[in-house]
Each structure stands twice: as C-alpha cells, then as structure tokens.
Structure 1
Amino acid sequence: MSRELESLFEEFVSEVEQIEQNPESLFEVGHKSNRAKRKDGELPDKVFVNRRSVLTELLEISHIRTIYHIFVAILLVFSLNTIVYDIIDKGRLVLDFDLIQWAFGKFPKVMALWVCMQLSTLLIVYPGFYHWSTSRRYTSSRLMDFVWLGIFISYQIAFLVLPVTYLSEHNLPPASSVIIVTEQLRLMMKVHSFVRESAFRVIKHKKTDGTEEGNCPDFSKYLYFLFSPTLIYRDHYPRTQKIHWNYVVSNFAQVLACLFYTYYIFERFCVPVFRNFNREHVTPKALLLSVFGCMLPGTLVLFIGFFAILHSWLNAFAEMLRFGDRLFYKDWWNSTTFSNYYRTWNVVVHDWLYTYIYKDVYMILGPKMRSVGLTSVFFISAVFHEYVLVVSFGFFYPVLFVMFAGAGFGFVFLTDKGVSRSWNVFMWVSLFIGNGLLMCLYSLEWYARQNCPVTTNNFFDYLIPRSWTCDFAGITLK
C-alpha cells in the first residue's frame, strides 16, 4: 500500500512539474475548443477541472501524515502546558481563553454587518444587473450602459466605505474586524467577477437570436458563486458526486484547532514580551532580540493561517457545495523563486489578480509591457493587504506594504533565474525574517498605543507610529 501511494505521489509531482514548465498545458486539457478560439498572443483563461488539494494528496503518504501528527502533538503539549501552569500558579484550572474572547468580541455586531453585506449583494447587485441586461434587449443605448456602469462603481465605493465606518463607530476588536474586512474584499471581488464575465456576454448577445441564452445568468448560479470557494465566475463548475460530511466536520475541527494554536502562540510568545511596552523595547539591542525572538512564532502563525484558511476552510465549503476544483494553492513550500511563491501561495486570489488586473493591462498595453502588469498586480495586492491591517488594528503603520511592494517585489527579480535548490533556502530564510519583523513591529505599535499617552490630534495620531514618538515619562503600564 505504501509503495502504491508513493507511486501516486511521484506521478502527482511529475504532473505539477510539467504544469510549472508549461503553464498553458493546464488550460489546454479538455478545452481544445477554447484554445482554438484564442488569438495569437492572447493569454489563457482560467479553466476549472476536478482535482483535490495538494495537502489532501500529500497527507495520504505516511511520512507526510507523521509531520501532521507532530503539529497535533505540539498543540496537545501547548494545552497541557496551559493546564499545568494554571494548576500550579493559580491553584485551579482557569482555561478562560480571554484573548480569544476579546479578539472576537462584539460578535453579534459582526454577524449583523455580515448579513447586511450579503443581502446587499443579493438584493442590489443581481436585481440591478438583471434589469440592465433585460432592458438592453430592447435598447442598446451606449449612454445607458455608462449610466449603469456609474451606478455599479458607486455601489462598490459605498460597499468599501460603509462597513469601515461601521467598524470605526463600534470599535470592533482585531479578529472581528478581520472577518468583516476580508469578507468585504471577498464579496467585492466576486461581484466584480460576476459583472465582468456576464456583462460581456450580455453586450455580445444578439437581439435576433430569439433565445435567452447569453443574457443574465440564473439567480441560482449567482447564489452558488457567492458561496463557492473561487473568485472567478462561471455558469458551471466541475462538481463531485456526493458530500462527505465527515470530511466537512474534520476540516472545521482543524480550523478550530488552528484557532487555539494561534492563541497559544500569542499568549506564550507575543503578549508577555510586548505587553508592558517601555523605553527598553525600542533600544537597538532589545529590538534586534525581539525580531529574532518573533521569527519562529511569526512563521508558525503563517503556517497555521495557511492551513486553516486556504486548506481546511476552503475544502470544507468546497465539500458542502460539491465544488470539484480544489487547487486553492500549489506546492509553494518548494519554490526556488519568489515569483513562483506568489503564484502558488494563494491560487484563489492569484487567479482573480491574473484575470482582471494582469490580463487587462496586457490587453491594453500589449505583450511588451508585461512588467507594468506585474507591477500593477503587486501594488494592488500590497495596498489591500495593508488595508486589512490598517482597518483591523486601527492605525496606519505600513510595514507590510513596504515589505510586500518593496523587498518582496525586488526578490521577484533577484530570484528570477533560481534553479538551484539553495534558492529555496533563501526563500525560507526571507520568510522567517519577514514574519519576525511583522510580528515584532506590529506588536510594538499595538502595545505602544495601549500604554503611551496621546500627544497629537486624532488624524495625525492615526498616521504617526506611537512607538516612535512615545512619551515614556507619561507612560502607564497595565
């Protein structure tokens, strides 16, 4: 049995390597008609096929499964450590998980806003698009097309502004804010994809066809797309034959376990170090030690977030919806170039950026300006990554933006010809250092804002890092 699994794994790796060497082969399988219709130089479209996630395949191999068991064992040790600490230090078992309760606080307000956001996409976007598409069968006024385009852009702007205003007014804690902001961006990208893909079909639809085909998609297709684990709209997706509910439950259980894993990491390695922010934290010696001390826990948080969201959470929803294409990521951990790492880390978002940013720039400016498309993708991705942190933390401290759009973008060209496996070591060292810097600097700024007195007005206080300008004489430790 072990030899059969190893043989399957070797075939799987071989297929992945062929795809990496010739990416267009992925779009040619079973879609020769689509390929024939493409003009010379035109970039391929996203094609959905039935396939399992990479880790789902790998976890069938006993050696990889053992690594998974090691992480489970570490989680159990963290739990035992907390239990023993509570009994010895406090004389009783506490297990109040106060950090989780605080981070996900005001949850009813979160759910209320989430429901409003979902309803707006259902009750505003689809009816509006349906009305435009049906009325266009009788009149194809270009002026009305631009009017409806203006209405759609106004909706997207309002959808971006109103939830942030709600978060600010109710002062939601970080994890609750992350839920809202990520859902906000997810729905905005989905709505954009639906309108983009369907609008072109409506515009090309001929009134003399005498059929409804080519007009507005059915509401059921739109509803399925809103909850499916993809950001690219299609009328039809490959589907599995049945739902395995035990697989759904196990994936949600893994998400819950990852939540507690993250709690233990912050409770043991982050909060005790930075809680009592003072002058000593910003000395070069202490800062350097803090960065190196945060490298391992910061990278662990990266692993856990990847496994919880891109593997467990998306696979759970894919299974419930019988969504067949589950290539939400590729083997990014084997990357020898940063360009490959960015393409394979989060395939779901990468597909959207490729389809609606890179391809559009390529189509407008031509193949000689690919670098402009690449720069646009990096800039937009960096802006919205930073946007999530700014709204969630409640302050502007663009460390992630500088690292993403600066060092991260530069490393794409530095490792462009990376064929030696030593470049994989370089990638991992860079990830460890980068995650250490992120955890350290954002933790310092967070606790500086908890402990240091406000010395400027609200607007400038939002923009200027308080860890740089802290009045240590007036500090009050908690």
Structure 2
Amino acid sequence: MGWPFINDWTWTAQVFFTLHTLALLMKMHSYAFYNGHLSETQRRLRALDNPSTASRESAYRYPTTSSSSDDDTRGKEEGEKVDVGTLREDLAMELISPLGRATYPQNLTVWNFCDYLLCPTLCYELEYPRTQRIQWTEVIAKTLAVFGCIFLLTITSEEFILPVMIDSAARLEHVESLSETVLILAESFADRHFYSDWWNSTDWLEFSREWNIPVHHFFRRHVYGASRPHLSRPMATIITFLISAIAHELVMACITKKVRGFGLIAQMMQLPIVLVQRTKWVKGKKVFNNVCFWISMILGLSTMCSLYVLF
C-alpha cells in the first residue's frame, strides 16, 4: 500500500491503486470465508452418516446479497434442534448454487477463482446468472462509460477541486481576521455543489446503500451479516460503519497525505443523524429529510476538506 507514496505517484494514481487493492482484499475475504462456510457445511453433512453423534442444530444459511433483511439470512433460530432428514436437506441445499448448476467443492478451481476476480462484484457466489451470449454493444458501452467517468472525475478534480483547495490553503496562511477565514471557507463550500448530482437520498443509511452497491453488498454480507449472530443490530451497524469509515479515511490519506481522522469522525456522525431522522416526528417527511441530507452533505464534505487543508 505504500508503493504509490514511495514512487511519488499522483493522487489519482494513488487512489486508483488503493481502491483496487482494497477491492481485491475484499474479494479474497469473501472467497475464503464463503468457501470456509461451505466446507463446514459439508463436514456437518458427512457427520450425519452417524446421527447419534452428529450435531442436530439447524443449518446456518450464509447471508446472501439478494435478501432485504438480515433476519431473512439467518435461517432458523440458533440452537434449534431439527430432525435428521430436514437437516440433511438444508445442508445439502446450502452446497448447491441457486441456479443448480454449481456445487461445492467442484467450484474450487483456478478458473472459477479467476472468473470471480473479473466479475463486477465483491461477494463470492457458487454461480452467477449468465446471458446466453455476449452482448458486445453492452460491453462497448460499459467500457466507454468506465473510462469516460474516470476522465471526467480526473478533469473535475484537477481543474475545479484541487486548485480551489490549494488556493484556499495559501490564502489561509495569510489571513488576519476570523471574517476572512470564514469567507475563504465559504468559497470552498460553494465549490462542492457539483457532487450533489451524484446522490438522491433522503438519509445517510439510504445513501450508504445506494452510492456503491457492490461495496454495500460486501459490508452487509461479510461485516453486518457476519456480526448479527453474535451482536445486536445497533452494534453490527456501528462496526460496519466504523470499518467503512476507516477505508474512507485511507482514501483521504492518499489524497491529502495526512492522517487526521476527520473523515472517519464525519462518517460516524451519520449514525446519530439517522437516529434523529428515524424518530416519529421526522420519519416519513421525505422533503424535509431530503433537505437535511443535502445540507449535511454539502456542509459536511466542505467542512471536512477544509479541516484537512487547515490541519
């Protein structure tokens, strides 16, 4: 992870390298943990050949990326005893893909792993839905969209964000009054408005679900979903947000070459805001919540960037 800094890469290259490294780490985590779960499931299935000594606890269903609630992925209550026939069927079904064309351990091949690495997902599955043939128009369109977005992000950042922040940093070194400082920071707030076109959420939980769906699936499955059997829902949510905040702080460190924790604190402050928005006095007022979200998004990001510039 320190290679980009040692070679003095540009911040865009550093972020690109860091994000792809994190993506590969998350992919390998998902691959290892899911296959580990399947290995344990297979062991329990084989142990049922001797029912007198085998565990009779219900089969654990690994969290999926398609379920809408963590309770849907946990199967029967922990510790509940089931009959051997039902348990054998549940364990066997866990070893088969939903489409029925792949099973464990036949999936443990180099080709399967390489195929998974190239799939646009962070969560490993035994099998993914496939089209009958390659739609080359879609491939070309998505490829152009990817490189087009990278180009626009780079141009926007280099031409409109960095110059403003660098200029603000230089001017802040020579300010003589509080009013001048406020005016300079206010300019930074205004220059952050173009990010608003990327998000249309009414609260931070909705934003965390929709801004990056593959990452959301990974955290819900391997962090939140894996924590739920051992922790309460609030604690699992806090841990999920904390790990996500640490990853975002790492990206900010690549951009600013500073580790200050402002991004981590800002992201963790989203949870109290969500609690307020979920109260009976505020919940359901979509327009009001949307306005509050925009205010916190614009002022929060601008303030965070300004803090990285100042300190």
Normalised by the length of structure 1, the TM-score is 0.47
Tell me the distance in 2 between the aligned counterparts of 1:438 and 1:295: 10
> 1:396: Cα distance to partner?
1.3
**Partner of residue 4, structure 2:** 167
Tell me, which stretches of 5 or more residues in structure 1 are unaligned? 1-162, 307-331, 446-464, 466-478
> 1:281: Cα distance to partner?
5.4
**Partner of residue 284, structure 2:** 419
Relative to structure 1, the CA distance from residue 269 to residue 379 in structure 2 (aligned partners, 3 Å threshold; closer, same or farther) is closer
SS class of match (1:233): coil
Alignment of 1:114-129 (within 5 A): none
**Paired residue type of 1:199:** G
Report whether the alignment pairs 1:430 with 2:296: yes
Alignment of 1:63-74 (within 5 A): none
> 1:302: Cα distance to partner?
6.4
**Partner of residue 180, structure 2:** 286
Q: How many residues align?
A: 248
Alignment of 1:349-428 (within 5 A): 349-365=215-231, 369-406=232-269, 408-417=270-279, 418-421=283-286, 422-428=288-294
Is this contact kept in 1: 2:196–2:294, CA < 8 A? no
Deviations 1:269-326 (Å, cap 9, x if unpaired)?
Answer: 64156337142458533333333323343242464xx5xxxxxxxxxxxxxxxxxxxx
1:200 to 21, 37, 46: 37
Deviations 1:26-78 (Å, cap 9, x if unpaired)?
Answer: xxxxxxxxxxxxxxxxxxxxxxxxxxxxxxxxxxxxxxxxxxxxxxxxxxxxx
Tell me the distance in 2 between the aligned counterparts of 1:253 and 1:168: 29
Relative to structure 1, the CA distance from residue 200 to residue 298 in structure 2 (aligned partners, 3 Å threshold; closer, same or farther) is same
**Paired residue type of 2:182:** L
SS class of match (2:124): coil
SS class of match (1:243): coil
Tell me the distance in 2 between the aligned counterparts of 1:390 and 1:410: 25
1:277 to 142, 156, 170: 170
**Partner of residue 188, structure 1:** 25
> 1:371: Cα distance to partner?
1.0
**Paired residue type of 1:203:** E
Is this contact kept in 1: 2:27–2:122, CA < 8 A? yes
Tell me the distance in 1 between the aligned counterparts of 2:157 and 2:251: 21
Tell me the distance in 2 between the aligned counterparts of 1:184 and 1:219: 20
Relative to structure 1, the CA distance from residue 290 to residue 243 in structure 2 (aligned partners, 3 Å threshold; closer, same or farther) is farther
Tell me the distance in 1 between the aligned counterparts of 2:139 and 2:180: 45
**Paired residue type of 2:248:** H
SS class of match (1:205): helix
> 1:387: Cα distance to partner?
1.4
**Partner of residue 132, structure 2:** 241
Tell me the distance in 1 between the aligned counterparts of 2:203 and 2:125: 31
Relative to structure 1, the CA distance from residue 255 to residue 296 in structure 2 (aligned partners, 3 Å threshold; closer, same or farther) is farther
SS class of match (2:170): coil
Deviations 1:425-459 (Å, cap 9, x if unpaired)?
Answer: 111121111222234344x35xxxxxxxxxxxxxx
**Partner of residue 337, structure 1:** 203
**Paired residue type of 1:354:** R
SS class of match (1:364): coil
**Partner of residue 121, structure 2:** 230
Deviations 1:61-104 (Å, cap 9, x if unpaired)?
Answer: xxxxxxxxxxxxxxxxxxxxxxxxxxxxxxxxxxxxxxxxxxxx
Relative to structure 1, the CA distance from residue 297 to residue 383 in structure 2 (aligned partners, 3 Å threshold; closer, same or farther) is same
Normalised by the length of structure 2, the TM-score is 0.70
Relative to structure 1, the CA distance from residue 236 to residue 181 in structure 2 (aligned partners, 3 Å threshold; closer, same or farther) is same
Identity %: 21
CA RMSD of aligned residues (A): 2.8
> 1:172: Cα distance to partner?
1.9
**Partner of residue 267, structure 1:** 159
Is this contact kept in 1: 2:266–2:304, CA < 8 A? no
Tell me the distance in 2 between the aligned counterparts of 1:266 and 1:282: 29
**Paired residue type of 1:247:** E
Relative to structure 1, the CA distance from residue 270 to residue 167 in structure 2 (aligned partners, 3 Å threshold; closer, same or farther) is closer
Deviations 1:168-225 (Å, cap 9, x if unpaired)?
Answer: 322222111111110111011100100111112123325699xx95325222221111
Is this contact kept in 2: 1:290–1:440, CA < 8 A? no
SS class of match (1:178): helix
Relative to structure 1, the CA distance from residue 273 to residue 345 in structure 2 (aligned partners, 3 Å threshold; closer, same or farther) is closer
Is this contact kept in 2: 1:336–1:419, CA < 8 A? no
Deviations 1:378-410 (Å, cap 9, x if unpaired)?
Answer: 11111111012214432212221111112x122
1:217 to 108, 122, 128: 108
> 1:376: Cα distance to partner?
0.5
Tell me the distance in 2 between the aligned counterparts of 1:282 and 1:363: 56
Tell me the distance in 2 between the aligned counterparts of 1:356 and 1:264: 34
Structure 1 or 2: more helix by fraction: 1
Alignment of 1:75-114 (within 5 A): none
Tell me, which stretches of 5 or more residues in structure 2 are unaligned? 50-101
Tell me the distance in 1 between the aligned counterparts of 2:239 and 2:160: 39
**Partner of residue 88, structure 2:** none
> 1:350: Cα distance to partner?
1.4
Deviations 1:131-160 (Å, cap 9, x if unpaired)?
Answer: xxxxxxxxxxxxxxxxxxxxxxxxxxxxxx
**Partner of residue 32, structure 1:** none
Tell me the distance in 2 between the aligned counterparts of 1:355 and 1:260: 32
**Partner of residue 63, structure 1:** none
SS class of match (2:228): helix
